[in-house]
Amino acid sequence: LEEAFREAGFPDGTFQVVVGDRSTASALIDSPISLVSLTGSVGTGVQVAQQAAEHLKKAILELGGSDPFLVADDADLDAAAKGAVAGRFVNTGQSCIAAKRFLVVDSVAEELTARFVEQVRTLRVGDPLRPTTDIGPLVNEAQREEIEGQVKDAVRKGARVEVGGKRLPGPGWFYEPTVLSRVTRTMRVLREETFGPVAPILAVPDLDAAVREANDSEFGLGASLWTQDLKRAEGLVRQIDSGMVFVNGVVKSDPRMPFGGVKHSGIGRELSRYGLLEMVNIKTVQVFPAKGTSQTAQTVE
């Protein structure tokens, strides 16, 4: 990226890549910069925001997510199942905008689960550098243990493993793509962010209950809603407490659209015109006509 800026003719120093650790980041925040933008965990976001606030510097925070995936009784179940696979298992589930809580209306929960599981069984686990691989390893052993603990907690409390449910032997931090049914709100897989290839399915009485469950989280990054009633979807979109809602599609970033969340998922927006405006100070200038002229006053933003 730095080389691309240079080749495009930007002055040296316009864009710089600095590799370092926590102390490096701390020094950068304390340096004479005007703004701090972070993509990271909630805990790190709090620390960065506190340090930036000591210097009265603006902080843009893109933090964690536990995105709900809501399926109505009139949804296209084939499309929803395909979207569930794409939304949950992108980057082995290690994405802030991956679908992490599947909230499905009772009348279609069994059928959606069956179609979802059927597709999950076809996913290929292996070397992430191979184009034929669908599921790669987790980032480290600690993350695999975290996922393993969340699944064991769910099973101990009554969840059923529809597919997967265990680590894979051999080198690498691999964990099977997993689908859990009979999930309840007391389980860690619903209360915490699951940063790995695990899909918990919670059956709910109706779509209104699904929205209530979706909002029952400290996070509010994205949400995915599946229904063929677009008029109803318009009203539900307003009720879902998240920064982004995709109807009949999976949550993804697009440079043309603002990206960001609410609650513990962050502050501010990235991408699009709104993301650019986060990075500037808007100056209002009002020019009054000189005495004796016929010019009118102008306000320039």
Active site residues: 62, 96
The single-letter DSSP state of residue 161 is E
The alpha helices in 97-187, defined as continuous H runs, are 106-120, 141-156
CA 97 to chain centre: 2
> For the chain, what percentages of helix, strand and coil (3-state, to nearest 5) are there?
35, 20, 45
- Residues near 296 by beta carbon (within 8 Å), at least 6 away in sequence: 289
- The span from the CA of 26 to the CA of 21, in Å, is 9
- The span from the CA of 45 to the CA of 190, in Å, is 22
- The span from the CA of 112 to the CA of 155, in Å, is 20
